[in-house]
Amino acid sequence: MKVPILLAAVLATAPGASAASAPTIDSYSKDARILAACLSDGPRLDLAVTAELESVLALVRKERAEFQDIHAIPDYDLHTLIVQVRPGRAPGWGGSSLRAGERDLDSLAQVFGLREVAPLGFHPPRGLVGCYTLRFDESLCMPKLAELYARSAAIESADLNSIIGDGDRIWAMKKAGTWNVVLSHGWGDCMAGCVGRSFSYISLQNSGATRIMEEWEGYPPPRLYLWNVPPDFPGTVFVGASALLDSLDSPRWWVRRHAIEAAWRFLRFDDPWTREGPNQRDSWERTRAELREGRAQVVRQIWAKLRDPDPDIRASAALALEKLTPGRPSGPPGRRESPGPEAPSQGLPNYPRW
């Protein structure tokens, strides 16, 4: 049996890994774990995917010396979760015990390795009443874990321990057996969101061969980047509602996907979701007004994308409809459309929760 090169390199990529000691999630680099969390469909990170990402990053960074200095930034801490408990519930946490005294919470603690419970606030030991920081043994996909905690009748809210600021970033997605990686260097007041960015789009075949597909540097202008990074591209890539809706039928999959992702953001957001180019605010607001005026048509066209032949387009359409029509079935009223048997590619559509 032939073993793909990237997978064959898995054991060699985990620092300290050996035949005598199997690697754990936290034996891999922080970059690999951050990217694995973005791709995860559950709270626990996939060990094989994390190992493959470690190998992917090592191969990509061989392209240029400056790539060695670009690292991923997490949107949240991979080890902690912030929860607010309803009055009178989880009495054990008030005594700094790992056991909450709630069956479902204690089960989650055991399954996911809860290591520490600390009151949230600046005046320990009391802190903010009913609010706690939960720390876990291993890196986890915290948005997925937060969903599980939020289902408990004892929990008022479960939130990410978010990280503010910006800087260099890495995105990765796997499509049709090929890893697509974006390395981005940011500069200029990155605490408020980097003013300028460089983008390098690199394709990595299963053979291990890499190819730089496109590069760009400067203040992000209104344009479509090669691959899909929805929260980090300007909405004014589409000049008007007609251009956006026409792009839903583009032969280029990433253009279709950008159009879907931009459409629901225009309908939901009152301000741009990322930095726009100079003098672009008026264009952004006109496009938003046109789309909102024709909201019904926009939603109908997104419904139609549930039948797109590309599974990633269907995934973006499903996300958009979740944002725009919460609680509705994934198809037009009176008609349920099957999204097809294929699974979407691993990558990027695990966006920050808006």
Pinpoint the residues of the chain covered by CATH 3.30.70.
Answer: 76-162
My answer on whether omega of the bond before 234 falls inside 30° of 0, hence cis, is no
- 332 versus 2: which is more confidently predicted? 332
User: How many CA within 13 A on the CB side of residue 168?
Assistant: 11
Those residues whose C-beta lies under 8 Å from the C-beta of residue 209, and which sit 6 or more positions away, are none
Those residues whose C-beta lies under 8 Å from the C-beta of residue 21, and which sit 6 or more positions away, are none
98-107, 145-154, 336-345: the lowest-pLDDT one: 336-345
Helices (H), ranges, 113-168: 142-150
- Predicted model pTM: 0.79
Asked if residue 2 lies in contact with residue 139, where contact means CB atoms within 8 angstroms, the answer is no
Report the alpha-carbon angle 267-269-270, nearest 5. 110
Which range, 43-47, 72-76, 236-240, 313-317, is most confident?
43-47
Mean pLDDT of the region 256-280: 88
In angstroms, the Cα distances linking 95 to 100, 137, 158, 276, 348 are 9, 20, 20, 49, 40
Asked if residue 259 lies in contact with residue 313, where contact means CB atoms within 8 angstroms, the answer is no
Interhelix angle 295-304/311-324, nearest 10 degrees: 150
Each residue's pLDDT tens digit, 144-154: 999 999 999 99
- Name residue 83's beta-bridge partners: 132, 158
Those residues whose C-beta lies under 8 Å from the C-beta of residue 159, and which sit 6 or more positions away, are 81, 82, 83, 146
Each residue's pLDDT tens digit, 280-299: 888 999 999 999 999 999 99
- 88 versus 142: which is more confidently predicted? 142
- At 119 the pLDDT is 87
Q: Name the architecture of domain 76-162.
A: 2-Layer Sandwich (3.30)
- Only one residue has tokens 């300028």, namely 196
